[in-house]
Amino acid sequence: MKNKLLLVAAVAAVGGTGLLLAGTQKVLTVPAAARTAAVASATAGTSAGSAATPADFSAGPPSTAFQRIAKAESAAVVNVNTSHVVTDQGFGGDIPDFFFHGFGGGPWQMVPQRPQKRTEMASGSGFIIDKDGYILTNRHVVDDADRVWVTTSDGKKYDAKVVGRDARTDVAVLKIKPRGPLTVLPLGNSDSAEPGEWVMAVGNPFGLGGNSVSVGVVSYKGRPLDLSERGTPIEMIQTDAAINPGNSGGPLINARGEAIGINTLIMTQGLAQSSGVGFAVPINVAKSVLPQLREKGHVTRGWLGLQIQSLNEDLAASMNLKGTEGALVSDVKRGGPAEEAGVKAGDVIRTIDGSTVHDSADLTQMVAALAPGSKVKLGILRDGSEKTLTATLGTFPEGKGGEASGGASEKGKLGLSLSPLDEQTAGQLDMPRGSTGLVVQGVEPGSPAELAGLRRGDVIVSVNGHDATSASQLTKATEGNHPARLRIYRDDGYFFLVLKPAESDSSR
């Protein structure tokens, strides 16, 4: 059996299991100028609390530095506890036959049980960000909670109000009414964090109580994870500092005593405990949404209405592009801002308002940082020609967004069986009305089709920018060992891939 890697939200459940998050996709980064501006605007008006300028311990021995930081800053970290009432609907699961028969062979009558209510409890972590009692944590720590309370490092308990939460970043803001001075954790600049830099994770693992400290380094910066399963990932900070269930919402602290991330997920092969691969939401991402969460309780973002992907060398070569910069448009939402602006599938967006779009991550973050109603100029490449289109951003939607008979086969060279897409199959696949294409009926193991990433049930919508109508079209497109750029429909979405034919014996 193959080992399965799971992304586990690091929240400890009492008598239950942690939340499992599935699906990793591409991610996006705000260019330096745009991100700096977003962070500056986000921190404006945010109370600095009682925190003094933190001492810079980065030059000293890590052990000494973190001892001093643990004493000075861990008092700002709190245990976050939640309760949620659930209703059990009587008997559940399979009940053996003998349960229904008496000793004399006569049946027993099952008496229906009344629904039973019980309280589920879970715990996580958080940290105080100003003297007024605002606390940062993860959204998944407090989701579905009927009651939230926090315990500070000195043992004081406070009822907490969920002020705001954001699914895309998995950030939530809590508020308590202080009964005395609070220790405030300074917020650092996660953009300046570098792989190899010493960091410390603080939190409440397994609901043990108190604040536990673990030390490691930044292992990787910019790991793309889709926290909300909306196709808009966050570039996470990866660390080997131990993060366990119950650490969710706690801070990842640098050697200057500043929070540079919110501990969120761990990667595991089964056991819900640290495997040395943990992930934190960058603190600059939290800063960018903090003002809206405090003021409105939710985040409103700009939206173009596109499905996009980054370019790789094969895709760029198939489009006769010299580099891989830009975001490739794989689908345009009907009636969305991009469609109204004239954007088409297959376009490559190179700039937005004059700023370079390096990849799909850049475009997503740049658009998300703008307000709905903003007008943006998109610099695109279409069939080798540069164009400039103007789009008016909409509001990012917060909700989540068969067999065919007959047809030809392209087995042998490409290892692919195809059939024409008919109206019934298109309907079963929830494709837009009037869609055309070729349905993948089978893929031979080890074939060029499998190596390209094609699967049974995929629909090939276009070949090198032209509507896909027949298997012979693929044969012609790959003549002379030329790769073909395919636009694919799968699981309610579109993307591109490159199909490379197998080399002939004479060319080996």
Rg value, the chain, Cα? 27
Right CATH for 6-80+125-296 from 1.10.287.610, 3.30.450.20, 2.40.10.120, 3.30.450.90: 2.40.10.120
Listed in order, the ranges of the chain carrying CATH 2.30.42.10 are: 302-395, 409-507
Decide: 29 and 368 in contact? Cβ < 8 Å: no
Q: What is the pTM of this model?
A: 0.63
Is the model more confident about 404 or about 112? 112
Is the model more confident about 139 or about 416? 139
pLDDT at 7: 52
422 pLDDT exceeds 70?
yes
Q: Does domain 302-395 have CATH number 3.40.50.720?
A: no
242 pLDDT exceeds 90?
no
Q: Which candidate in 125, 140, 214, 347 is catalytic?
A: 140
Give 496: exposed, middle or buried? Use CB within 10 Å, 0-12, 13-18, 19+: buried
Over pLDDT 70: what percentage of the chain? 76
Query: Which tens digits make up the pLDDT trace of 126-170?
Result: 999 999 999 999 999 998 889 999 999 889 999 999 999 998 899
Q: Which candidate in 170, 226, 331, 347 is catalytic?
A: 170
pLDDT band at 56; cut points 50, 70, 90: low
pLDDT at 10: 52
To the query of whether residue 248 is one of the catalytic residues in this protein, the response is yes
Query: DSSP of 16-85, one letter per residue?
Result: S-PPEE------B---HHHHHHHHHHHHTT---TTPPPPP--TTS-HHHHHHHHHHHHGGGEEEEEEEEE
Query: Which tens digits make up the pLDDT trace of 427-480?
Result: 888 888 888 899 998 888 778 888 899 998 899 999 999 999 887 788 888 887
pLDDT band at 14; cut points 50, 70, 90: very low
439: enclosing H helix or E strand: strand 438-443
Query: Which tens digits make up the pLDDT trace of 168-221?
Result: 899 999 999 999 999 999 999 999 999 999 999 998 887 777 788 899 999 999
What value does the mean pLDDT take over residues 88-115? 49
Listed in order, the ranges of the chain carrying CATH 2.40.10.120 are: 6-80+125-296
Q: Does domain 409-507 have CATH number 1.10.730.10?
A: no
The Cα–Cα gap between 221 and 451 comes to 29
Q: Which candidate in 190, 248, 288, 417 is catalytic?
A: 248
353 pLDDT exceeds 60?
yes
The vertex-347 CA angle with 349 and 463, nearest 5°, equals: 145
To the query of whether residue 466 is one of the catalytic residues in this protein, the response is no
To the query of whether residue 159 is one of the catalytic residues in this protein, the response is no
